Structure 1
Amino acid sequence: MPESTPRDRALFRVNPMSYIVIAILVVAILWPVAAYPLALGWLVLIPVGFAWWVARTRTRLDERGVHLSTWRSRRSVPWDEVKGVMFPKKGFARLVTTSDDSLPMGGVSFHDLPRLSAASRGRIRDPYAAPGPEQP
């Protein structure tokens, strides 16, 4: 199934192709670590840390709210505390709460806005979507 149509439309994750970058990084550090294991053995922690970040970073939307997971913490924000979403020039989207906190939405980028709007059942509006039929 292509990435643009994931099975769980309410779950947003870091692109799984990132694991290929991790594999390339492992291959790149094998030579120096094998040559000088005591001095450069710590380099193994770099791909392990990156893999941990890719595996843990995600955003899920459901009826209760937005559930954010980063490499070091998890947080749930109920819908009545969601003020909106902002998209910085770099990085993932950020959830803005009614207390003006800005929380990273791992795995959510600007191109995910239509899917984000659908998963939130319109609570997060897609300003570029065609307007629906007007209600009488």
Structure 2
Amino acid sequence: MPPESSSHTTNPPKQVIRISPLAYLGCAFLLFAVSFPIFGWPAAFGWLVIAPIAAVAWVARVRTTVTSDGLEVRRLFGGRSLAWSEITGFRFPKRGWARATLADGGEVTLPVVTFDRLPEIAEASGGRITDPYAAAAAADEAADHAGAESNGEQPVKNRPDTDGE
């Protein structure tokens, strides 16, 4: 359950997850590669110029935007807005982009979203998604603290350095 908003809390930032702008270099290389057949026989291979144009459009358009209201998924052709109430969870396949599992049993692919982006998504979701990295760090800290208290010693992180004396 997300925390209630008040006048003292700030809205979480909108997080736009998109393909790296370095991908435009790949599009330029693709244009260079298809230029040889195009210049060699324009009548037969002129249509190849569509490939780099489509690649540039894909890099510029495909993205997933995370807001406190939900997710906005944009593809090369079309897009979709998902409210948090429609989403029951996320699935991260071994290869490819994450998928949002919907309440109606369907799935929506989230372009460019991978597991390593989860902390950013958790922050922008306003508490609706938990950050597994932060949860693991908190669990480790709690385990260290509980272990140190049980034997009466100071936690290792707070113990002053000694020379072994």
Match of 1:21 in 2: 26
Match of 2:65 in 1: 60
- Aligned mates of 1:100, 1:17 — CA distance in 2: 36
Match of 2:118 in 1: 113
* Higher relative strand content: 1
Over alpha carbons, which structure has the higher Rg? Answer: 2
| Contact 2:119-2:132 within 8 A present in 1 as well | no
User: Does 1:48 pair with 2:53?
Assistant: yes
After the TM superposition, which of the residue ranges 27-36 and 122-131 deviates more from structure 2? 122-131
Match of 2:99 in 1: 94
TM-score by length of 1: 0.85
SS in 2 for 1:28: helix
| Contact 1:9-1:115 within 8 A present in 2 as well | no
RMSD: 2.0
- Aligned mates of 1:48, 1:10 — CA distance in 2: 27
Residue in structure 2 matching 1:71, options 65, 73, 76: 76
Residue in structure 1 matching 2:138, options 117, 131, 134: 131
| Contact 2:88-2:101 within 8 A present in 1 as well | yes
SS in 2 for 1:24: helix
- Percent of aligned pairs sharing the same letter: 37
* Higher relative helix content: 2
| Contact 1:85-1:124 within 8 A present in 2 as well | no
Q: Residues 25-68 of structure 1, C-alpha deviation per residue, up to 9 Å, x if partnerless?
A: 11111111011111001111111111111111111111221111
TM-score by length of 2: 0.71
| Contact 1:59-1:108 within 8 A present in 2 as well | yes
Q: Unpaired runs of 5+ in structure 1?
A: 1-7
Give, as a single letter, the amino acid of the residue that structure 2 aligns with 1:35: G
SS in 1 for 2:132: coil
Match of 1:33 in 2: 38
Superposed displacement of residue 99, structure 1: 1.1
SS in 2 for 1:71: coil
